[in-house]
Structure 1
Amino acid sequence: MTAAHPEGQSRVTPVFDQLLALLCAGKAAFRILEHPAEGKSDAVARIRGTRPEQGAKAMLCVASQAASTPVLAVLPGPARLDFRKLAVAMGARKATLADPALAQEVTGCAMGAVPPFALSPDVRLVADPALVSSNAEIAFNAGRLDRSIVLAVDDYLRLARPQLADIIRQE
């Protein structure tokens, strides 16, 4: 089902509005879930009523080269990011998590609320294939800790157009 912008909704973030505009314009199959604010993958999956593996965890990362483009790394909620693999996907020698202030500045979101979309042309998007190969839908915080979107995987791939690369750390 395609959701329209909820009427009478209280103040929303620009990122939330951007996502809704993108998904509606792209005729995506999605639904919006309102819930208590939560930024932890396993806890928000329980609140959403989704499997933790459906959660699209997005983390802003930077390469060791100062002038390189930041990368939004997206992986299933319970997975851990392998920074060496991400560096290879970025064409860099080393990748690290961006500091919270930079992540907020670049994404417009608090940590934990970053959606799996590169809404800025200055951000590259890399997603692990495990997220999209084993789920019909993904779920993610939509620029806010109290709003999630559940989105058809095909629509995510079509609209976000992530580079797919193995970036999960094997335990």
Structure 2
Amino acid sequence: MVKQAGARPGASGPGTPATVALVAAGIPFTAHTYAHDPATTNYGLEAAHALGLDPDRVFKTLLAEADGRLVVGIVPVTGMLDLKSLAAAVGAKRAVMADPSVAERKTGYVVGGISPIGQKAALPTVLDETAALWETVYVSGGRRGFDIELAPDDLLRVTSGQLADIAR
């Protein structure tokens, strides 16, 4: 179920754009795979349960449109993205959830496997401040059934993200 990070993506779980980006940036991470149930639609809670984790430590990646531009919000799977707070964090007046097909096309990942790391284009990224409570957090590794564990500061560094209160 758990594989330790290695020097190359193939040694650390499925090779995805997320693992490639982390290896290229020299950021330490641990890859965790689990059997994804195709009937499940709450991917983050599924990961927390399958990996035996506190769900507050597992984060989901959501895309929103803030004043017409795509932005990434990363919040605990137990919460919801506060669109007003996300908009304020990126200097926008208003934010709405992005259409799932747009999210898939712009990130290169499928819904339920969208990683904040290694997306097709660099998007403004905001990580909920509760991530700072943990030594490491879990985010999608770029496929359903595959999560990456890394330090919140490293997640911010690899995504050029910022920390803000964006969950409710």
The answer to whether TM tops 0.5 is yes
TM range, normalised to the smaller chain? 0.7 to 0.9
Q: Is the 8 A contact 1:2 1:24 kept in 2?
A: no
Q: Which residue of 2 aligns with 1:75?
A: 75
**Structure 2 residue 52 is the aligned partner of structure 1 residue 49:** yes
User: What's the CA shift string for 1:61-88, capped at 9, x where partnerless?
Assistant: 002x3xx320010112212111111121
Deviation at 1:122, TM superposition (A): 4.8
| Structure 2: gaps spanning 5 or more residues | none
* Pairing of 1:18-97 with structure 2 (within 5 A): 18-37=17-36, 39-63=42-66, 65=67, 68-97=68-97
Deviation at 1:42, TM superposition (A): 1.7
**Structure 2 residue 9 is the aligned partner of structure 1 residue 5:** yes
TM-aligned CA distance change 1:2 to 1:43, over 3 Å: closer
One-letter code aligned to 1:158: R
User: What's the CA shift string for 1:116-154, capped at 9, x where partnerless?
Assistant: 2363445211111112x1111111221110211112333
User: What's the CA shift string for 1:79-111, capped at 9, x where partnerless?
Assistant: 211111112123222211101111111111221
SS of residue matched to 2:142: coil
Q: % of aligned pairs identical? A: 28
| Structure 1: gaps spanning 5 or more residues | none
RMSD: 2.1
TM-score, structure 1 normalization: 0.81
TM-score, structure 2 normalization: 0.83
Q: Which residue of 2 aligns with 1:162?
A: 161
Q: Is the 8 A contact 1:58 1:116 kept in 2?
A: yes
SS of residue matched to 1:70: strand
Aligned pair count reads 159
Q: Is the 8 A contact 2:17 2:118 kept in 1?
A: no
